[in-house]
Structure 1
Amino acid sequence: MHSLFLWLLFIFIIVQRLVELIIAKRNEQWMKANGGIEKGKEHYKWFIVIHSLFFISILAEVAIRGTDGYVLNNFLFALFLLIQLARVRCIQSLGRFWNTKIIVLPNVALVKRGPYKYIKHPNYVIVGLELLVIPLLFGAYYTALMFPLFHLMLMKVRIPLEEKALGRVKINK
């Protein structure tokens, strides 16, 4: 029963990500139709690579270890659920401006509601937590070590690009 739950959870997370990509694509089309400008395209492929490898890595670790003896960690599962609520709150707060790409709509004020009222990039914090908690739920300890580090490396590129695109960084000339 526990291994069935494990696979159902994995499928749920994959479906959730696919639905989010559909939402992001719809938001991208709306923003571009309303004058939105995409910035920092060059690094986006690395998000796709890292996030695809994340799921492959979990599968590989679980396949090597097996699911016999798997016991759901209730604390990690509760933490996962809280993180998902925070993720949904971020998406809701940004509404049509939420995206997986950096797309700026000129002459539109930055969203300052929900978690964005308190920190600039709450979704990136949430993704970092997910990249730790999700593999731990599956007993994929190597994935839990590696992918938060990959996320931090991506954020070193992404956040400065996003800050510049949003006009929060002054450019020295």
Structure 2
Amino acid sequence: MFITFVVLQRLGELVLARRNTAALLARGAREIGANHYPLMVGMHATFLAAVAWFGWQAPVALPWLAAYAVLQGLRGWILASLGSRWTTRIIILDEPLVVSGPYRFFSHPNYVLVVAELIVVPMVLGLVWVALIFTVLNAAMLALRISVEQQGLDQIAVGRIDDISRLG
């Protein structure tokens, strides 16, 4: 049941992200980092497959499940704060950044959430090694994504939005 919930939640997020991305692009936003997006999707799909394959009969650890529930509160706060600007892609819009909600405290709260979930989800099912492997893989992915995103924001800050399509 837990694995099914996580997979369905991720699929729902992809639907929401696709809709929001299309709306942002229609408003004149630009995507950067598209070259590494399939790699990121593949990593997350492999993560879910590993959790499902190795955890389908594992008992649920209630303290870790409680931690996961807390993280879902953070997810709701992030989604509410970003609204139609939330997406899984790096979309640069020539508008002020969101600075409300968790964005008052972190530059990248969604990335903090993903890091936590890549640890907590497998730990709900006792899959320590899955948490370790995907935390390391995700750290490399986030280093790239945050760098590309920051380069795009820097280009906007100096008024060079036309140059961002080459990033990433």
TM-score by length of 2: 0.88
Q: Structure 2 matches for 1:21-170, cutoff 5 A?
A: 21-62=14-55, 66-67=57-58, 70=59, 72-106=60-94, 108-167=95-154
Contact 1:164 1:170 in 2 (8 A): no
SS at match of 1:166: helix
Matched, 1:16 2:9: yes
In 2, Cα distance between equivalents of 1:169 and 1:95:
21
In 1, Cα distance between equivalents of 2:54 and 2:3:
13
Shift of 1:78: 1.0
Contact 1:58 1:143 in 2 (8 A): yes
SS at match of 1:87: helix
Gaps in structure 2 of 5+ consecutive residues? 159-168
Q: How many matched pairs?
A: 158
Code of the residue aligned with 2:31 in structure 1: it is E
TM-score by length of 1: 0.86
SS at match of 2:154: coil
Shift of 1:169: 9.1
Shift of 1:44: 0.7
Per-residue CA deviations over 1:34-87 (Å, capped at 9, x if unaligned) read: 101111111111111110000111123236xx44xx2x3221111100111101
Contact 1:62 1:138 in 2 (8 A): yes
In 2, Cα distance between equivalents of 1:20 and 1:135:
19
RMSD: 1.8
Gaps in structure 1 of 5+ consecutive residues? 1-7
Contact 2:119 2:131 in 1 (8 A): yes
Contact 1:163 1:169 in 2 (8 A): no
Shift of 1:111: 0.3
Q: Percent identity?
A: 32
Shift of 1:168: 7.6
Is the alpha carbon distance of 1:74 and 1:62 closer, same or farther for their aligned partners in structure 2, counting shifts above 3 Å?
Answer: closer
Is the alpha carbon distance of 1:89 and 1:98 closer, same or farther for their aligned partners in structure 2, counting shifts above 3 Å?
Answer: same
Code of the residue aligned with 2:149 in structure 1: it is E
Contact 2:64 2:124 in 1 (8 A): yes
Structure 1 runs (4+) deviating above 4 angstroms are 168-171
Shift of 1:121: 0.3
Code of the residue aligned with 2:85 in structure 1: it is F
